[in-house]
Amino acid sequence: MSGKNLTAVSIASTRTTQIIDITKDVADSVKRTAISNGICFVYVPHTTAAVTINENADPDVKSDIIMGLENIVPDDPGYAHAEGNSPAHIKSSIIGSSVNILIEDGQLVLGTWQGIYFCEFDGPRSRKVYVRVMAG
Q: Which is nearer to Zn ion, 47 or 54 (CB)?
A: 47
Q: Which is nearer to Zn ion, 87 or 115 (CB)?
A: 87
Q: How far apart are CA 52 and CA 91, in angstroms?
A: 12
The footprint of Zn ion on residues 36-95 (CB under 5 A) is 83, 85
Q: Which is nearer to Zn ion, 25 or 122 (CB)?
A: 122
Least Å from the CB of residue 129 to Zn ion: 20
Which residues make beta-bridge pairs with 100? 41
Least Å from the CB of residue 86 to Zn ion: 7
Question: Which residue has the closest beta carbon to Zn ion?
Answer: 83
Q: How far apart are CA 121 and CA 83, in angstroms?
A: 14
Least Å from the CB of residue 88 to Zn ion: 7
Residue 128: C-alpha distances to residues 10, 34, 97, 102, 112 (Å):
5, 23, 12, 21, 26
Q: Are the C-beta atoms of 131 and 6 separated by less than 8 Å?
A: yes
Binding region for Zn ion (CB under 5 A): 83, 85
